[in-house]
Amino acid sequence: MSVAVATSPAWTPPSPAIAQESPDVRRRLDESQGRLELIREERERLRRELQGIAGQVSGDSAELRNIERQIAASASLMAEFDVQLLALSEQLTAMTREMLLTRDELTARQVVLRGRLRDIYKRGPLHAAEVLLSSRSFSDLLNRYRYLHDVAVFDRMLLEDVSDLESSLADQRSGLSRERDRIARVRAENVREYGELERLEQQRQERLRRFSDRRAEAQSTLARLATEEAQLRALISGLEDRRRSAEREAGTTSVSSLTAGDLGRLAWPVEGEVLWRFGPEREGRTTIPREGIGIAAPRGTSVKAVDLGRVASVVARASGQTVILDHGGGFYSSYQKLRDVTVREGQPVQEGQAIGHVGGDATQPHIEFQIYEPGAVGPRAVDPVRWLRDRR
């Protein structure tokens, strides 16, 4: 029995490897994740800060700045998600390419394996003893032995390679699935962050509208206050002109109840915190003259005359009622933001006598108190604190 010794197909054993994250991708992901954590910590701090600001009367500008910083943080988060998506997409592409190569290699090995199985089936069982004993010479015996050995090694390696490639392909598919899941999670976070960015932008627009409305309202109020101050100055100047004219006609000269000796000795019209000081105050583009001081006090508290005098005028204004006392010699005191008045024009009043009650506005009950001294061209407003007792 002669046996033809066939040579096995020339091939190189594959070395399949599961696709791993490249060092560059891992580094980029780690750096991006570190930046993400820092940005999230900063935004959480901004959210806590916003909760502390919310509800404060003067917090509109601070709220707006806080929200704008949160918007910047959200934009940074989305940029980091883009970095991660790019790195993960590159990794997914590399893993897909390796998986396709592994699948092609597996297909090739399976073709070879099927060919070997077909050859074995056609040839029938090969008995090693028969092959060796039927050799014609010692050299033929050695050749037949090598053939049997090579066939056995080839078949064993072919089966091992097919098994390894199948296992490798399964692992690569699993890794590919994990990478796709990671990309899906990052995209989901990106979508959530985009929604958060939209929410913050709506919140910002709402704050801008509210801020604009309040600013317009404040500007209107400030303009009205400035107008009322100018009207009050004109009213007191008119009262002084009439007083002087009446004294000239009567040939008399009034003597003021206020003298230099009263400086720092007058009682306060009400006891309370000083809300604003004497002197011009700038609010936006409007300047309020502030020709007096604001004094906080519970609504309904009695407001008392700081010295004896005569009620020169009682004026009803949008901000409340005003009483002006004439102390003679060009000295006047003004009591504004009163809820009601308990005196009438022309009535003499004594030091400490109640002339009305504290009113104020919607934000805080208070009065405004002014003192006018004689000037070269008429009464001029002075800092009333210099006339009042030092409460320290």
- Give yes or no: residues 126 and 191 share one domain: yes
- Give yes or no: residues 144 and 290 share one domain: no
Q: CB-based contacts of 266: which residues, under 8 Å, 6+ apart?
A: 306, 307, 387, 388, 389
- Structure-token match 């954590």, residue found: 37
Q: Which of 190, 218, 246 is the last residue of a domain?
A: 218
- Give yes or no: residues 342 and 207 share one domain: no
Helices (H), the chain: 23-53, 60-123, 128-133, 138-250
Residue 134 corresponds to which tokens in the numbers above? 């039927």
- Residue at 180 is within a domain: yes
State residue 149's pLDDT score: 64
Residue 233 corresponds to which tokens in the numbers above? 């100055």
- Structure-token match 């005569």, residue found: 310
State residue 18's pLDDT score: 43
- Residue at 45 is within a domain: yes
- Give yes or no: residues 153 and 72 share one domain: yes
State residue 147's pLDDT score: 63
Q: Which of 170, 192, 218 is the last residue of a domain?
A: 218
Domain count, the chain: 2
pTM attached to this predicted model: 0.48
Half-sphere exposure (CA, 13 Å, Cβ side) for 277?
A: 2
- Give yes or no: residues 187 and 268 share one domain: no
Residue 42 corresponds to which tokens in the numbers above? 């900063």
- Residue at 41 is within a domain: yes
Residues found in the chain: 392
- Give yes or no: residues 143 and 288 share one domain: no
- Structure-token match 């805080």, residue found: 364
- Residue at 166 is within a domain: yes
Most confident of the following: 9-23, 80-94, 96-110, 299-313: 299-313
- Residue at 349 is within a domain: yes
CA separation for the pair 294, 297 (Å, rounded) = 10
CA separation for the pair 359, 368 (Å, rounded) = 10
- The Cα diameter of the chain in Å comes to 166
State residue 384's pLDDT score: 95
CA separation for the pair 358, 202 (Å, rounded) = 42
- Structure-token match 């901000």, residue found: 319
Domain limits at 73?
Answer: 23-218
- Give yes or no: residues 289 and 211 share one domain: no
Q: CB-based contacts of 59: which residues, under 8 Å, 6+ apart?
A: 53
State residue 77's pLDDT score: 77
Q: What is the mean pLDDT of residues 104-125?
A: 73
- CA trace torsion 188, 192, 198, 201 (10° rounding): -130
State residue 133's pLDDT score: 59
- Residue at 293 is within a domain: yes
Give strand pairing partners of 4.
Answer: none
| Nearest by Cα to 371 from 319, 329, 343, 321 | 329
For residue 113, the domain's CATH number is 1.10.287
State residue 128's pLDDT score: 55
In this predicted structure, the answer to whether residue 283 has a pLDDT above a threshold of 50 is: yes
For residue 325, the domain's CATH number is 2.70.70.10
Q: CB-based contacts of 74: which residues, under 8 Å, 6+ apart?
A: 43, 193, 196, 197, 200
pLDDT one-digit tens code per residue, 129-178: 555 556 566 666 566 657 666 666 777 787 787 787 778 777 778 777 77
